[in-house]
Copies of this chain bind each other. A is one copy, B any other.
């Protein structure tokens, strides 16, 4: 009899798991359950649709449920909430009271935007930014809005702030930490990003938790930092928390970071034992860091895809493992690219590591070649082992390949001496400096030891 594979969640992790299971097993019955209407789209693209860089929301939907049915023989049950999992009977319960059996289960229920429990958080005019539906709602609300408050100055918050500012709205960003892109970005790099956003006319209220959202029937103002800020639209980009509803109900072991603890095969633990027929992927998973001595969460689209592949192969009866992660990320904030990988100073501190910083400022082309853009590279190394453990790039272009390059060095345990001695860069005047700014940052870092 054909193996029954059930996937819960239709984000990057869930849909990749379903597709990878299909590649690994031609005969399996594969069904994806999702509360969403649309599947297989890129949530990371939402700010760029709002900005008008991408034509419309339809453009960012790669495939329909029909496509999965026809092309992959994968059944996708949209607008269907899974209310419970019976791990003994190996069935899932649906909101309509029916249930469905599984041989293998992939949990890819992702995360949700954390909304602080404050007055007015449920007023009309307050929107999260997470699903494509949220993006569509914000796009509609933009048309009649004048003052927007974006809560949260992470990369999504800043991308949305720039999008709304480009649309001509008055935008205020409220952030409880004293810097933008807290946690994953260092204060010096964050300052450059904030200055750029301010140059576009975006206002910042820093070090100020959101205190209240107020209005008659719909949002009219926000209280933060002890002051009132007019707002007829509020966008919550306050960070993503793992969806632990099903894992808790199933009795899965939850790690210290508020996410599900898994084995390298992405199987969870229950009552101290590895579960044989359950696999996890995406934003609700705690995994190992390749840069630090401890666990991490890697809530990135790329990680979702890579975890989905491993979970899907294993759910289909194959064998794959998910390795420790470096978690490179990049964001396009107006004309500025900000990227990072491995640890920031703040994360290093969290792990109890002492780091040394190196930095260099240059250009993306030879200095004499017209059109080159500013390029700032920062590298962090562990003080005792000299291993490179983090990198950040702020640039007008070409940040992505460089941050992947630094990620490879971290992954391979390269010391700063290794980097200076052995890491070569390709050179042509229109595409780089003869000694790339990454290499210059490594030399600066070496000089600090």
Partner pick for A423 among B324, B397, B408, B430, CB 8 A cutoff = B408
A286 beta carbon closer than 8 Å to chain B: no
Q: A302-B426, A400-B426, A404-B402 are contacts. A431–B327 as well, Cβ < 8 Å?
A: no
Complex CA–CA separation, A371 to B378 (angstroms): 28
Chain A contact patch, size range = 35 or more
CB-nearest residue of chain B relative to A369?
A: B54
Partner pick for A407 among B44, B332, B403, B424, CB 8 A cutoff = B424
Complex CA–CA separation, A438 to B329 (angstroms): 16
Partner pick for A302 among B327, B368, B370, B424, CB 8 A cutoff = B424
A1 beta carbon closer than 8 Å to chain B: no
Q: How far is the CB of A108 from chain B (nearest CB, A)?
A: 15
Residue from A60, A366, A368, A397 with most neighbouring chain B CB atoms (10 Å): A368
The residues of B that contact A429 with a CB separation of less than 8 Å are 42, 44-45, 48, 54, 60, 332
A331 beta carbon closer than 8 Å to chain B: yes
Complex CA–CA separation, A425 to B53 (angstroms): 23
Q: How far is the CB of A211 from chain B (nearest CB, A)?
A: 32
The residues of B that contact A425 with a CB separation of less than 8 Å are 302, 328, 400, 404
Cβ–Cβ contact B326 & A427, under 8 A: no
A360 beta carbon closer than 8 Å to chain B: no
The residues of B that contact A423 with a CB separation of less than 8 Å are 404, 407-408, 411
The residues of B that contact A330 with a CB separation of less than 8 Å are 426-428, 431-432
Q: How far is the CB of A240 from chain B (nearest CB, A)?
A: 16
Cβ–Cβ contact B434 & A302, under 8 A: yes
Q: How far is the CB of A348 from chain B (nearest CB, A)?
A: 19
A289-304 vs B: 1/0 string, CB under 8 Å? 0100000000011110
Q: How far is the CB of A415 from chain B (nearest CB, A)?
A: 13
Partner pick for A45 among B320, B366, B400, CB 8 A cutoff = B366
CB-nearest residue of chain B relative to A435?
A: B305
Question: Which residues 113-139 of A sit at the B interface, judged by CB distance below 8 A?
Answer: none
A75 beta carbon closer than 8 Å to chain B: no
Question: Which residues 413-448 of A sit at the B interface, judged by CB distance below 8 A?
Answer: 414, 421-432, 434-436, 438
A42-82 vs B: 1/0 string, CB under 8 Å? 10110010000111000110000000000000000000000
Partner pick for A431 among B303, B305, B399, B435, CB 8 A cutoff = B399
A32-45 vs B: 1/0 string, CB under 8 Å? 00000000001011
| 29 intermolecular pairs with C-beta atoms under 8 Å apart | A42-B434, A44-B434, A53-B430, A54-B369, A59-B368, A60-B368, A302-B425, A302-B427, A303-B424, A305-B435, A306-B424, A321-B421, A325-B424, A330-B426, A332-B430, A398-B401, A399-B401, A400-B426, A400-B428, A401-B401, A401-B404, A404-B426, A404-B436, A405-B408, A407-B424, A407-B426, A408-B408, A408-B409, A411-B424
Q: Which residue numbers of A lie inside 8 Å of B, CB to CB?
A: 12, 42, 44-45, 48, 53-55, 59-60, 290, 300-303, 305-306, 320-321, 323-332, 337, 339, 341, 366, 368-370, 397-405, 407-409, 411-412, 414, 421-432, 434-436, 438
